[in-house]
Structures are given as structure tokens and as C-alpha cells.
Structure 1
Amino acid sequence: MLAYAFRRVLSAIPIALIAVTACFFILRLAPGGPFDGERALPPTVLANLRAHYNLDQPLINQYFIYIWRLLHGDLGPSMVIDGFNVSQLIAIGFPFTLTMALTAFVIATAIGMLAGMVAAVYQNKWPDYVLVLAVMIGVLIPNFLMAALLQLWFGVYLRWFPAGGWVNGSWWHLVLPVTVLAWPHAGRISRLMRGSMIEVLGTNYVRTARSKGLGERLVLARHAIKPALLPVVSYLGPGLSYLLTGSLAVEQIFGLPGIGKYFVTAALNRDYGVVLGTTILYMFIILALNLIVDLVYAWLDPKVRYR
């Protein structure tokens, strides 16, 4: 297992390099720049700024300078937010983003698995129809639209929850953002769990267990849940990465102090360092989550052997 994990890490290095290279050149070749503000800078000041950030050099030279710094763990400075480098901005905003995404992940995974099992046990009955309808709403409506609707209904009209902001660290302000993030994730989990559980409940060993007189709860607990979890586990890694990336837009809509506000501002202002640093961070998170999912999958299914 450790040898397989080591090979996966080595195989991910070229993928990471290709992704970094593509992001670097796409950003640098896009129209505009970090110093193209509403107020034009004097030519001397602009030239000094470009020289300070190596923007006066050929593009290929800028690329190799960035890769060399990246290999030494330096994500570079922010070209728009004065006094901060990219690592400091990530250290400030990412813990909040990670906390919110993990909270939504745990809640959505638990609800989705439970809803999928109930829908499979009561297949083609009213609990199945109600649960399928509820989860489909979360899957079909985009998170930015769902965020606006929940803000309007529960934050403005009913005033049950704060419509946005983060005051004095109150977790009450996270109810609506976590709901927006968790709903579609719970819907996908429940659909996977329902289909997998229906398939498992129709297998021969489950029918044999029932014929021996085991109760329905024992059949589910001992024979059905673990094999039914395999498709769900395969999705959990990408699912958590979707929550992390989806939280960028949700944080911006609700005005939360996560990494999303830095990323959106940096993208609008062509702050190359912040956009690249955030992209690299999420890329490595996705690769790490996929590796963990593969290892857990092998633990759940003894028939799986990675060679």
C-alpha cells in the first residue's frame, strides 16, 4: 500500500507541473495587468513596479523565475494587496474556508448516506419519492442562486438567520452558507447511496441472510452498508474538493472572511501571485484527496489490489 502511495505521488508531479504551467501562461497572456487601475500611473512608477515584480522580463524568463521560487516554497508576493505575500493571505483566509467546507462535508455526507439508505429500503414508495425530490432541488439549483434565495427568504423576509457577514465569530452566521454548500453534496451522496444500496440488497448473499431469519437492521448493518459504500467513497474525495472550490463563490456572496474574497479580488485585478497560489493550493488538495480515497477504497474492498 505504501509503495502504491509513493508511485501515485511520483505520477502526480508531471500533472501538477502541467497545471501550473497552463495557469501561469493563461493568466499572463490574458488582457490587462495588475497595475491597470482607473488612475493611470506615471511611466517611471509603472516601470519601477514592473521591474520589481519581474514583469519587464520576457515571459519565459518570468515562468522559470516563478518555478524556481515555487520549488523553494515561495508563492511570491501579492501585486495588489500591499504588505502581504501569497502565503500570508492563504494562511489568513484558508482556515476559515476549510472549517466551513469540512462542516458542510460532514453534515452533507451523513444526511446523504442516511437519505440514500432510507430511499433504497423504501424503493418506489412515498419516502423514496419525497427524498428524491428534496435532493434533486439541491442538485439542480446552482449554489449562487440558492445562496441568493436563502438570503432573501430566511435572512431578509423572515429574519431567522443573518443574511451575511461574520460578526464576533458567531457560528449563527454560517447556517445559510453551510446549507448552500451541503445541499447539493448531500443530494449527490444520496443518489449514489440509493443506487448502490438497491443493487446490494438484490444480491444473493443478502437474500441468503434474510432467509436465515436475520432482521432487516442486522442485514443492513452486517451485509449491505459496507459494500454499498464503495461508490460513495469514490466520490468523497472529489466531493470535498468541490465544496472547497464552491466555497469561494459562497464566501463572496455572504461576505465571509475566507480565501474566496482574496481569490475573487485577485482575479478581477489580475493579481497573478494570489490567483496562481490559490490554484496550486487547491490542485494539491485534490491530488491528496484522490490518493486518500484510493487507499480507503482498497481497505473497504479486499478484492481490490493496486499493482
Structure 2
Amino acid sequence: MLRYAFRRVLSALPIAFIAVTVCFFILRLAPGGPFDTGRPLPPNVLANVRAYYNLDQPLFTQYLLYIGGVLRGNLGPSMAFYDFNVSQLLAIGLPFTLTLGFSAFVIATFVGVLAGMVSAVYQNKWPDYVLVLAVMIGLVVPNFLMGALLQLWFGVYLRWLPAGGWVTGSITHLVLPVTVLAWPHAARISRLMRGSMIEVLGTNYVRTAKSKGLGSRLVLARHAIKPAMIPVVSYLGPGLSYLLTGSIVVEQIFGLPGIGRYFISAALNRDYGLVLGTTLFYMLLILVLNLIVDLVYAWLDPKVRYS
């Protein structure tokens, strides 16, 4: 298992290298630059600023300098947030983004698995119809629209929850963003769990367990839940990465101080270093989460072996 994990890490390095290279040249070759917005700088000041950020060097030289810095763990300075480098900005926004993403992940996974099990047990009955309708709302309505609607209803009209912003230590400011993030994730897990559980409940060994007189709860706990979770676990890695990267829009809507807010600001201001650093971070995070899912998948299904 450890050797498999080590090989997966080694195989992911070329992918990371290619992705960083493509992002670097797309950003550099696109029209405009980080100092073209706002009031034009005097020519001598602009020349000094470009020299400071190595933008006066040939494009390939800039690329080699950036790759060399990344290999040393230096993601470079930010061109929009002065007096900060990219690593510092990621360190500032990372705790909040992880708190938001993992909170939505835990809640959505629990709700989705429970809703899928109930829908499968009560297939084609009123609990199944109600839960299917609820999850379809989460899938159909995009998160930016759902966020605006929840802000309007619960933050402006009812004034039950804050409509945006962040106060350190305040859980109420997380309720609406976590709900917006968790709802579609819970909907996808619920659909996967429902279909998988219906299939498992129709297998021979489950029918045999029922014929021996075991109660429905015991059959679910001992024989049905673990194999039914296999498709769900396969989705959890990409799902968690979706929550962490999908928080970009949610953080911007609710004015939250996470990595997503920095990323959008960097994209609008053409902050090369911060855009590349955020892209690299999210890419490595997705690769690590997929590796963890593969390992958990092997634990759930004894037939899976990685050679």
C-alpha cells in the first residue's frame, strides 16, 4: 500500500509540472499585465517595477526563474497585495478555506448518506419522493444563485443570520456559506447512496440475512452499509476538492477572507504569482485527496488490490 502511494505521488509530479507550465504561459501571453490597470505609471517607474518582478526578462527566462523558485518552495511575491508574498497570502486564507470546506464536507456527507439510505429503504414511497425533491433543488440551483437567495431571505428579510462578512469566532457567519456549499454535495452523495443501496439490498447475501430472521436495522448495519458506501467513497475525494475549490465563488459572494477571495482578486488584477500559486495549491490538494480515496477504497472493498 505504501509503495503504491509512493508511486502515485511520483506519477503526479509530471502532471503538476505540465499544469504549472501551461498556466504560466497562458497568463504571460494573454493581453495586458498587472500594471496596466488604473493610472498609467511614469515610464521610468514602470521600468523599475518590471525589473523588480523580472518582467523585463525574456519569457523563457521568467519561466525558468519561476520554476526554480517553486522547487525551492518560493512561490514568489504578490503583484497586487504589496508587502506580501504568495506563500503568506495562502497561509492567511488557508485556515478559513479549510474550515469552510471541511465543515460543508462533513455535514453534506452525513446528510447525503442518511438521505440516500432512507430513500433506498422507502423506495417509491413518500419519504423517497420528498428527499429526491430536496436533493434536486440542490443540484438544479447554482451556488451563486442559492447564495444570493439565502442572503435575501435569511439575512435581509428575516434577519435571522448575517448576510455576509466575517467576525472572528462567530459561527453564525458560517451558516449560510456552509449551507450553500453543502447542499449540492449532499444531493450528489444522496443520489449515489440511494442507487448503490438499492442494488445492495437486492443481492443474494442480503436476502439470505433477512431469511435468517435478522432485523432490518441489523441487516443494514452489518451487511448493506459498507458495500453501498464504495461508490460514495469514490466520489468523496473529488467532492471534497470541489468543495474547497468551489468555495471561491461562495467566499466572494459572502465576503469571506479565504483563498478564493484572493484568487478572484488576483485574476482581476493579473497578479501572476498569486494566480499560479493558488492553482498549484489546489492542483496538489486534488491529487492528494484522490490518493486518499484510493487507499480508503481498498480498505472498503477487499477485492481491490494495488500491485
Tell me if TM exceeds 0.5: yes
Correspondence 1:20-35 to 2 at 5 A: 20-35=20-35
Q: Distance in 2 between matches of 1:168 and 1:88?
A: 19
Instruction: Kindly state the Cα deviation for residue 160 of structure 1 after the two structures are TM-superposed.
Output: 0.9
Amino acid at match of 1:193: M
Instruction: Kindly state the Cα deviation for residue 145 of structure 1 after the two structures are TM-superposed.
Output: 0.7
SS, match of residue 83 in structure 1: coil
- After superposition, what is the alpha-carbon deviation per residue over 1:223-245, rounded to whole angstroms, capped at 9, x for unaligned? 00000000000000000000001
Corresponding position: 1:226 with 2:226 = yes
Corresponding position: 1:112 with 2:112 = yes
Amino acid at match of 2:300: L
Corresponding position: 1:19 with 2:30 = no
Amino acid at match of 2:219: V
Aligned counterpart, 1:264: 264
TM-score (norm 2): 0.99
Moved over 6 A (4+): none
Amino acid at match of 1:305: R
Corresponding position: 1:247 with 2:239 = no
Aligned counterpart, 1:217: 217
Q: Distance in 2 between matches of 1:169 and 1:246?
A: 23
Task: Indicate the larger mover: 259-268 or 196-205.
Answer: 259-268
Aligned counterpart, 1:166: 166
Aligned-CA RMSD value: 0.7
**Aligned residue pair count:** 307
Instruction: Kindly state the Cα deviation for residue 167 of structure 1 after the two structures are TM-superposed.
Output: 2.2
SS, match of residue 256 in structure 1: coil
Instruction: Kindly state the Cα deviation for residue 140 of structure 1 after the two structures are TM-superposed.
Output: 1.1
Amino acid at match of 1:106: V
Amino acid at match of 2:96: F
Q: Distance in 2 between matches of 1:211 and 1:7?
A: 46
Instruction: Kindly state the Cα deviation for residue 37 of structure 1 after the two structures are TM-superposed.
Output: 1.9
Instruction: Kindly state the Cα deviation for residue 258 of structure 1 after the two structures are TM-superposed.
Output: 1.1
Instruction: Kindly state the Cα deviation for residue 259 of structure 1 after the two structures are TM-superposed.
Output: 1.4
TM-score (norm 1): 0.99
Instruction: Kindly state the Cα deviation for residue 149 of structure 1 after the two structures are TM-superposed.
Output: 0.6
Instruction: Kindly state the Cα deviation for residue 261 of structure 1 after the two structures are TM-superposed.
Output: 1.7
Instruction: Kindly state the Cα deviation for residue 200 of structure 1 after the two structures are TM-superposed.
Output: 0.2
Aligned counterpart, 2:148: 148
Amino acid at match of 1:96: F
Amino acid at match of 1:119: S
Q: Distance in 1 between matches of 2:115 and 2:36?
A: 51
Instruction: Kindly state the Cα deviation for residue 169 of structure 1 after the two structures are TM-superposed.
Output: 2.7
Fraction of identical pairs, as percent: 81
Which runs of no fewer than 5 residues in structure 1 stay unpaired?
Answer: none
- After superposition, what is the alpha-carbon deviation per residue over 1:250-285, rounded to whole angstroms, capped at 9, x for unaligned? 011101111122111100000000010011000000
Correspondence 1:277-292 to 2 at 5 A: 277-292=277-292
Instruction: Kindly state the Cα deviation for residue 168 of structure 1 after the two structures are TM-superposed.
Output: 3.9
Aligned counterpart, 1:46: 46
Aligned counterpart, 1:121: 121
Aligned counterpart, 2:177: 177
Corresponding position: 1:200 with 2:205 = no
Aligned counterpart, 2:135: 135
Aligned counterpart, 1:68: 68
